[in-house]
Amino acid sequence: MKRCIKRFIAGFSAIIMSVTTNSMVSALDNNSNMENHVEQFIVASKDTNSGEITYKNFDTKLTTNARNNKVNELSTPAYQGSISQEEEISPNNVIGNDDRYRITHTTDFPYRTICRIVTYWDKDNDGVIDNTMGIGTGFLEGPNAVVTAGHVIYDKNLNMWCEYAIITPAQDGAGSAPYGNTRSTIIHTSTAWIESGSADQDWGLIETQSDIGNQVGWLGKFWTSGSLDGTSVHVTGYPGDKPQTMWRGNGSITKSESARLFYNCDTMGAESGAPVLNSSNQALAIHANGGSYNSGTRITEWLFNFLEQFN
């Protein structure tokens, strides 16, 4: 596939402008004819220090410009950070028909960019943080930005944000934090997730206090308008049945939709937000749903461009 280097998209910097709550609009369908209008979506953000919630309109005019210039895919490379690269490990454990295997050398790249996320909530609105925490997975997108699923930070059933999140890259067991922990500062998701629970926009982004990505690196990402069926991928995260340890499932993409990808990698609960990675350590999707099938929110052109500002 043809790759477009970051130098191209730099010429199409995204326009971000504030809008009020009553002017919010739903995200337009990803297959809309963008030659006749500008696609937009609204990003809701919560400051986890002050509690302030704001809304911004992400204007994807660069999407229209790119398509007018016959661009149909964009990519960014993975960045390995300032730590010396170590050799990646091979599978060390297979359990019955479960094809997942544990990653023990979590400080190897790309695994050190994958984070365990613990979210804290006040679900009864009594002003006191609950005893029960939320667990999810995320991956570094830039120096201080972690991508995850929208439902990790915003509970659609309760229409409620988490109070804050603690992020631990490369955790390997209880108390393990080879690069320390970092706290959320601002968390983001789409109003399409908040308003309707749209699986097409079940994505989130957590800005963090520390620039941990400069040390451990971050993953690349890849967008294409074409089918990804048959592409070899793996999903690596922190499954709930293997507490506080990192596990990987290999597979391939079985179905490509405009805003979702389906795959046969083995996953479990709490891996929501894990990257769906190709062989170049580029995220193709954000794992979000399991069950009889596994699927993730696809890195579409507009999501690619939104995330790019944090790289």
Backbone φ and ψ of 293, nearest 5° = -145, 160
Residue among 151, 188, 234, 287 flagged as catalytic: 151
Residue among 198, 272, 287, 295 flagged as catalytic: 272
What is the C-alpha separation between 19 and 278, in angstroms, rounded?
36
Reported residue count of the chain is 311
Residue with tokens 């009020």: 20
| 3-state class (DSSP) for residue 23 | helix
Number of Cβ within a 10 Å radius of residue 1:
9
**Catalytic residue flag (residue 151):** yes
Cβ proximity of 300 and 258 under 8 Å = yes
What is the C-alpha separation between 200 and 286, in angstroms, rounded?
11
What is the C-alpha separation between 196 and 191, in angstroms, rounded?
8
Name every residue whose Cβ is closer than 8 Å to that of residue 243 and which is 6 or more positions away in sequence. 174
220 Cα distance to chain centroid: 11
Name every residue whose Cβ is closer than 8 Å to that of residue 250 and which is 6 or more positions away in sequence. 99, 232, 233, 234, 265
Q: Catalytic residue positions?
A: 151, 272
